[in-house]
Structure 1
Amino acid sequence: MITERAPAKINLALHVRQRRPDGYHDIETLFAFAADGDVVTVEGAARDRFAIVGPFAAGLDAEADNLVTRAARAFVEAFGIVAAHAITLDKRLPIASGIGGGSADAAATLRALARLHAVPLDDARLYRIAAALGADVPACLDGRTTLGTGKGDALVAIDGLAGTPLLLVNPGVAVSTAAVFRTWDGVDRGGIGEGDLLARARAGRNDLEPPALALAPVIGAVRAVLDAAPGVLLSRMSGSGATCFALFDEAGACAAAAAEARARGWWTLQTFLT
């Protein structure tokens, strides 16, 4: 059995530049990853099976088409694999929450299958499969801090902030990525600047936060709590929402903010950047 983590993805900054002819948007984003998230397990089997367990399993249908099963089908086709697989997704992250859950799950599935079948993780075919599955999947396959450009799949590694205490907070609402992009005002406010990673993130923004806030006003309440937390280095909404994140100067401050968020009935994940 092969077990792969599917860590939560956060966008330290997310600048939307323009809509592309292919329906995607040109963006500039600073991808970073948490130490925790979903978990995917893969093993050989007599027939293909897929099961979903975990706290957020009820929100997904194991019989429906999804990114995990699409990733598995694409892998066996690309590499000529004839074996069947039993795949289990332990769904620990909220669904439709802006932290790359589905993309991370697909990427973890590709990594697990590659390990099971002795395929090098830097095989270019894995990245071609990832890019075909979705804009965030290549970054999740890479699983490290990167600057993403184009539709988010042109990646350049960046150093900095590993080990920084991280708090994720979701108010319990799902936000449609497509709806958020449809609500975006279409204004190009410029790209991500230079400097060290924290400076670039602080000087940046998330262009999807205003349209997400219009769809889910509770995001503003989450941001207010995180912005006011002692020891916070940066607070922002991730992706298309509704999950927000905060980076802290030390773990105790992160724990105190997590307790404040939980007291309001919100989902929290206290972790750190890798």
Structure 2
Amino acid sequence: MAHDTQSALRVELARAKVNLALHITGQRPDGYHLLDSLVVFPQIGDRVALEPAGSLDLRLEGPFARDLDGPSENNLILKAVRAFAESAGIPVPNVRLTLTKRLPVASGIGGGSSDAATTLRLLEDFSGSYLPEETLHALALSLGADVPVCLFPEPQIMRGIGDELSPGPQLPVCGIVLVNPKVGVSTPDVFKNMSKRDNPPLPDLPERFSSVAQLTECLADCRNDMQDPAVSLCPEIGKVLSALEADTRIAFARMSGSGATCFGLCELRDAMDIERQLRTAHPGWWIASGSLS
């Protein structure tokens, strides 16, 4: 990626945000849920490109571009550009942003939040205006509860409503397969369908996981408290989990976020082969694989 002049095209992967574990630990009086989550960012994502232009412009392309609702000026990426300029005290930059939307929309893997966070990083680099960490965090939070965690796409623990962040464990070399049945599930509906909201928090996690086996053993002691309510609303999620669990090379499978995307963890060398076989067996599903970190 070139950094020398403002004429350079800058491109970055807006990585999917995967909740390896998601514990719902309570609910605030204002309705926001409290959570405890181990979040990771595999090398699977949307592509955000930024280049100088005559005016601020957003182009949408890729397999899921048509699923982005409403006029493009309402897109979170453009909101991020305007909010960044205001925070940095600079004019709104004349840039063309091209979003190649490869991740399914509203699918529990934070695609829109990651796109916005990636845009903020690219804008800092392009403008040379680097915001203090607290300012950048507050700006990201104003765009959405999941945007701050996506600013630094490395393992993190999210707490509170998602705004309290701390570094997560170092990950082993590990493959991940993401599967979405291309069926939407509404986050508010999943929350409504939960019978219990004051669940135990995450157990203490080690500083690093030295193997896939150690990671999956730890995850087996954790939960996604939204998985059962989501499966009961959307049985397709159960079919995805069954397909992942049926493959002996997959060491662990679970739903991410409020769904409907599920993940399977495996040895990195097996990931692409598992993806190919799942694509053949389930041509209607969205499937992607890559490295966990």
Structure 1: distance between partners of 2:181 and 2:117: 26
Structure 1: distance between partners of 2:197 and 2:53: 50
Matched, 1:126 2:126: no
1:34 is paired with a residue whose SS is: coil
Correspondent of 1:67 among 73, 76, 80: 76
Give the corresponding residue for 1:221. Answer: 239
Identity across the alignment (%):
41
Structure 2: distance between partners of 1:121 and 1:245: 34
CA contact (8 A) 1:50 1:62 kept: no
Q: Which runs of 5+ in 1 are unaligned?
A: none
- For 2:34, give the aligned amino acid: D
CA contact (8 A) 2:169 2:205 kept: no
Structure 2: distance between partners of 1:136 and 1:162: 25
Q: How many residue pairs end up in the alignment?
A: 273
In proportion to residue count, which structure has more strand? 1
Give per-residue Cα distances to partners, 1:242-263, cap 9 Å, x unaligned: 00001113422x3343233212
Give the corresponding residue for 2:289. Answer: 270
Aligned-residue CA RMSD (Å): 1.7
CA contact (8 A) 1:18 1:26 kept: yes
Structure 1: distance between partners of 2:254 and 2:67: 25
Structure 1: distance between partners of 2:268 and 2:50: 36
Give the corresponding residue for 1:76. Answer: 85
CA contact (8 A) 1:52 1:62 kept: no
Shift of the alpha carbon at 1:201?
Answer: 2.2
- For 2:74, give the aligned amino acid: D
Matched, 1:234 2:244: no
Structure 1: distance between partners of 2:50 and 2:225: 37
1:133–1:23 distance in 2 versus 1, CA, 3 Å: farther
Matched, 1:114 2:124: yes
Give the corresponding residue for 1:175. Answer: 185
Is 24-33 or 151-160 further displaced after alignment?
151-160
Give per-residue Cα distances to partners, 1:3-54, cap 9 Å, x unaligned: 1210011000000111223332110000001112001112232211111111
Shift of the alpha carbon at 1:150?
Answer: 0.6
Give per-residue Cα distances to partners, 1:106-155, cap 9 Å, x unaligned: 10111111110113376332111111111211111111101111111211
Give per-residue Cα distances to partners, 1:142-192, cap 9 Å, x unaligned: 111011111112111123324310000011112222222222223322011
Give the corresponding residue for 1:35. Answer: 43
Which TM-score applies when normalising by structure 2?
0.88
CA contact (8 A) 2:49 2:99 kept: yes
Structure 1: distance between partners of 2:140 and 2:223: 26
Stretches (4+) displaced over 4 A: none
Give per-residue Cα distances to partners, 1:75-98, cap 9 Å, x unaligned: 011112213222111101111111
- For 2:201, give the aligned amino acid: G
